[in-house]
Amino acid sequence: MIFSLYELVHWLGLTIFEIWINLVSLTIFTVLLALKLDDNYFSGSSGVWIVFSPLFVADGLNTYFCAIIFIRMHMEGMMKAAILRAVWSLVFLLLVFVFKYLLCKKLSGQSSPEYSEVLSPVFILLQLIAVRACQLH
């Protein structure tokens, strides 16, 4: 089942611009990952961090974009909607960032958490998305 763009925007709480930023960074990440796995282009433990860097840059850009939207909504007088959107966006971005960070630490060998610990932010995020989807319909 393929979701429509309308459903994705409402369920995830992301704008089309944020989705576009994530898709571009995911494309660059995929190319860097293929280079690392095929030719061992990025060697050592820092190679994982280089491969994941487009995803971290996308998180930073999305956080900046969310701050701009919060300021604009606040200036237009939509204080409650601005706070709700800012809280949802920051929780979403924080959980995704923590997952990527823990995964990079695990893959680079800097620490050895279990994969259940690494994936715990994703599990929390999926539960929050399910609650949000049920509230909207």
> ∠ CA(41), CA(45), CA(49), 5° rounding?
80
Q: How many domains does the chain have?
A: 1
pTM, entire model = 0.85
d(Cα 71, Cα 66) in Å, to the nearest integer? 9
Non-local CB neighbours of 98 within 8 Å, separated by 6+ positions = 121
Which range marks the domain in which residue 111 is found? 5-136
Cα–Cα distance for residue pair 6/103, rounded to 1 Å: 30
Residues 29, 54: contact at Cβ < 8 Å? yes
Task: Give the per-residue pLDDT at 136.
Answer: 62
Nearest to 132 by CA among 4, 20, 14: 14
As a whole number of Å, the end-to-end CA separation of the chain is 18
The per-residue pLDDT string of the chain (137 residues; one tens digit each, 9 = 90 and over) reads 677 878 777 777 788 888 899 999 999 999 998 888 887 777 766 788 899 999 999 999 999 999 998 999 889 998 888 898 899 889 999 999 999 999 999 988 888 888 899 999 999 999 988 888 787 65
